[in-house]
Amino acid sequence: MGMVAAGVTVATRSPAVSSDGLGKSNGETTSVSPVPYVFNGNLRGRRCSGAVEKVVERRQRRMIKNRESAAKSRARKQAYTTELETEVAKLKEENQELQKKQAEIMEMQKSQVLKVLQTMTMQLGR
């Protein structure tokens, strides 16, 4: 664990420490805070238990808020995606109707041109 020499305890392994003085969360849940360093009977590099509890409580509140925010964001994204899918379906339907109308108009124009040609050939044939 640690080495003791002349009343000084030193950790043999350097733990990962975040800026708030607690261990980083890298998937390892065995240790929440770093190993305290003892110099002449005093703890160094460690906050008092009240401050640590406040930090942990703040971190937990922040994590809860973050989860809620992420859930809201996912819900907004889902609603937006659903809205876009509905709009796409509506536009596809409208596009089909317009293509159908266009085909009908083209057919009418074609028949009109054929009638005009027929009348012109009949008049020229006289």
- Reading the chain (126 residues) residue by residue, the pLDDT tens digits are 455 545 555 555 544 445 555 554 555 555 555 555 555 555 555 557 788 999 999 999 999 999 999 999 999 999 999 999 999 999 999 999 999 999 999 999 999 999 999 999 988 876
Based on the fold, state whether residues 34 and 76 are members of the same structural domain: no
Cross-strand bridge partners of residue 5: 8
| 46 close to 33: Cβ distance less than 8 angstroms | yes
Kindly state whether residue 113 falls inside one of the protein's structural domains. no
Kindly state whether residue 31 falls inside one of the protein's structural domains. yes
Distance CA 73, CA 79 (A): 10
Residue where the block lists tokens 């379906």: 89
Based on the fold, state whether residues 61 and 33 are members of the same structural domain: no
* Nearest one of 65, 11, 6 to 37, comparing CA atoms: 11
The range of the structural domain enclosing residue 83 comes to 47-104
